[in-house]
Amino acid sequence: GKAGQNVTISGISNSKKLTFSLGTGDLAISLPAKYTAGGVDTNNGSEITGDPGATAQYNWSIVITVGENTTINSMSKQIIVTDEGGNTDTCVLTQSAGDTYLTVTKTAIELTYQGNAVSFGVESNTSWTIS
């Protein structure tokens, strides 16, 4: 995919604090320092301001920016949320494969009868052959 896509992960909780961490996977992302809980910006792992407590629940969300996938393989990463009691929930963020490309530096190659060598550059994010 495209560069700089924002992905929002959200849920409902009644814990007085949530901690977000990254698990296994090959998708290169980082977690933001803050998430939103009950409409309030909250530091990752800190107690939530205005926590309703007990069994009252609030909505939470975290926004993660995912860079462009320039490979031809899909990539993923676990996002783990842990509540105050140590209970965890894991979601897997998967990014689809990027488009394949093949770029050649010359648009035409002229060969002479003497068989002179001609060179050109090729860039690609996948394997290819010339035949």
Report which residue type is found at 32: P
- How deeply is 34 buried, as exposed, middle or buried, from its count of CB atoms within 10 A (0-12, 13-18, 19+)? middle
* Residue 42 to residue 22: CA distance in whole angstroms: 18
pLDDT one-digit tens code per residue, 73-82 = 999 999 999 9
Q: Which of 24, 18, 90 is nearest to 61 (CA)?
A: 18
Q: Output 93 or 116, whichever has higher pLDDT.
A: 93
**pTM of the shown model:** 0.76
At residue 33, the pLDDT reads 96
